[in-house]
Structure 1
Amino acid sequence: MGRYAALLRGITPSNPNMTNDKLRGVFEGLGLGDVTSVLASGNIVFRSAESDVPVLEERIQAALVRELGIGGGTIIREHAELRALLDRDPFAGLSHDRSTYLTVTFLKDRAAVKVAAAAPEHWPERPDPLTRGLGYDPAARVILAVLDNTTTGTPSGVMSWLEKTCGKDITTRTWLTVQRIVRKMESA
């Protein structure tokens, strides 16, 4: 059985239909094994004999819509992909703290991957000025960003830019959350 992480888009923990126990219930109802959650932001770790990730994504998303009315989107990554990303240490020498957020945006759509994989000078427009170190990791299909939180306001422009550039089939996690997800996958 393969180990997977489902990264759900648009989860609001205060919504009664988006609590970890309800999300886990949908996965368990699909017959997926060793279902656990990581934090309260739509990160579900599980095992499955199914190895076709797009099939898993569609099955899970259909069940989330049917059972909980959640239509935000489901992106799945295999343990090996996430472990390899951590091992590459793309944020080497940087730390995630109050002044600097290290973020990982997961892409689902192959067209978005093509745009992101292009050299930054060929991207349709530049991201938020509070963002630096933007890059693309092709093996994990993620955009890596360092958000500067030292000025007032949030660098939310980068999220708008990501949606405009790559579409809505994306979801962003902090580097610390990705590390927690991998630890949970390895302990399950």
Structure 2
Amino acid sequence: MTRYVALLRGITPSLPNMANDKLRGVFEGLGYEDVGSVLASGNIVFRTEETDGPALEERIQQALNDELGIAGGTIIRSHAELRALLDADPFPGLTHGRGTYLTATFLKDGALKDGASPEQSPEQPDPRTRIVGDPAARVFLAVIDNRTPGTTPDFMGWLDRTYGKDITTRTWLTVQRIVKKMEA
């Protein structure tokens, strides 16, 4: 069996249909095993014999929409993909915190337009943001410098405008917590 995480877009934990117990119930209803949640922001870990990531994404998203009215997006990553991402140490010497915000933006297959790919760093939206890609994990990794006085870079808005809705972002700490839960 393969261990996966479903990274759900647009989850608002204060809404009753988006509570972790309801989300886990949908996954259990689909027959997935060892279903668990990480934080309250739409990170559901599970095991299945299925290996077709896009088919899993479609099946889960359809069930979330049918059963809970959640029309957001679902992006699947295997434990092996996330473990390799962590082992690559993409933020050497940096610690996620208030001044240096570390994020991972996961892309659904087909989210990139015009032949772009995660190994090609996108145009930098703000000099306080440094972005690198990891093609194996289909992810953009960003270091957002919040230490500079002034407004915080509108990185999330830029991502949505540039790549559409087939993406979802997690802090680096959340990615680490997801992998820890997958290994438990």
Shorter-normalised TM range:
over 0.9
Distance 1:8 1:118 in 2: 24
User: Any residues of structure 2 matched to 1:137-156 within 5 Å, and which?
Assistant: 137-150=134-147, 151-155=149-153
Q: Is the 8 A contact 1:128 1:161 kept in 2?
A: no
Residue deviations 1:12-52, cap 9 Å, x none?
11111111001001100101000000000000000011111
Q: Determine if the alignment matches structure 1 residue 108 to structure 2 residue 105.
A: no
Aligned to 1:34: 34
Q: CA RMSD in A?
A: 1.5
Larger helix share, 1 or 2: 1
Note closer, same or farther for the CA distance 1:80–1:118 as it changes in structure 2 (3 Å cut). Answer: closer
Q: Is the 8 A contact 2:118 2:139 kept in 1?
A: no
Q: Which amino acid aligns with 2:126?
A: D
Gaps of 5+ in 2: none
User: Any residues of structure 2 matched to 1:15-34 within 5 Å, and which?
Assistant: 15-34=15-34
Note closer, same or farther for the CA distance 1:15–1:153 as it changes in structure 2 (3 Å cut). Answer: farther
Aligned to 2:79: 79
Distance 2:118 2:107 in 1: 11
Paired residue for 1:183, among 175, 180, 183? Answer: 180
Gaps of 5+ in 1: none
Q: Offset at 1:153?
A: 3.3
**Residues 145-154 or 54-63, more deviating:** 145-154
Distance 2:129 2:117 in 1: 16
Q: Offset at 1:116?
A: 3.9
Q: Offset at 1:128?
A: 2.9
Aligned-residue sequence identity (percent) comes to 71
Q: Is the 8 A contact 1:37 1:43 kept in 2?
A: yes
SS in 1 for 2:72: coil
Q: Offset at 1:171?
A: 0.2
Distance 2:120 2:138 in 1: 14
Distance 2:132 2:119 in 1: 10
TM-score by length of structure 2 reads 0.93
Aligned to 1:64: 64
